[in-house]
A and B are shown apart, each in its own frame.
Chain A
């Protein structure tokens, strides 16, 4: 596709369940980012991949959160033992280069997670 694709667009789950959110970046983009946007807030950085490796995971809130990008394209954000406070829109973005040189990230429309 032409843009960043995220699935599912909406996910409702129960407290304690395991969730996976998928991101398909723009073809050829080596950099991939996950952000989380809570209601009324700006996006908060979670993790950054350059290729297959997580170059910076300092934004992951705790060890219940994990992300992978095994082949350097599609990425999956995994949340274990979900809590109500995890409810948010999870945004994925990609870039052909390190973001500091361009500032431009191409964002998907997000996956809205609701934990009941």
Chain B
């Protein structure tokens, strides 16, 4: 079985300050992990992915995430938030045993204030 737990349902940061969205995973096999972003009235979009190469993964719009096997974590970070980052973020897991399925977390809503 595989699952992800997003530890915060809502995160609020000021523009220009760092962003941290937390995700822990559970997988019986070596996982592939992803972050997707959903802006209001837009389709889900892949932000970044980890597939057993480098543990520090860089994505679009300045986001990055670090795979930590010892902590079963894949937290999403960005050094400086922008107003346009306000959206819903989903941590996602899959592995080769379930090639057809992405398993999504419950999401973290990021609010960015002036």
Q: Which residue of B lies closest to A56 (CB)?
A: B100
Interface string of B82-114 (1 = CB under 8 A from A): 000000001010111011111111110000000
Does A99 sit at the interface, judged by CB under 8 A? yes
Size of the chain B interface, CB-CB below 8 angstroms: 25
Task: Check A105–B102 contact: CB distance below 8 A.
Answer: yes
Task: Check A42–B106 contact: CB distance below 8 A.
Answer: yes
Q: Which residues of B contact A33 (CB under 8 A)?
A: 100
Task: Check A40–B43 contact: CB distance below 8 A.
Answer: no
Chain A residues numbered 43-81 whose CB sits less than 8 Å from any CB in chain B: 43-45, 48, 55-56, 59
Does B46 sit at the interface, judged by CB under 8 A? yes
Does A14 sit at the interface, judged by CB under 8 A? no
Q: Which residue of B lies closest to A109 (CB)?
A: B43
Most chain A CB neighbours (cut-off 10 Å) among B34, B92, B99: B99
Residues of A within 8 A of B (CB): 3-4, 33, 35, 40-45, 48, 55-56, 59, 91, 93, 98-100, 102-110
Residues of B within 8 A of A (CB): 32, 34, 41-46, 49, 51, 90, 92, 94-96, 98-107
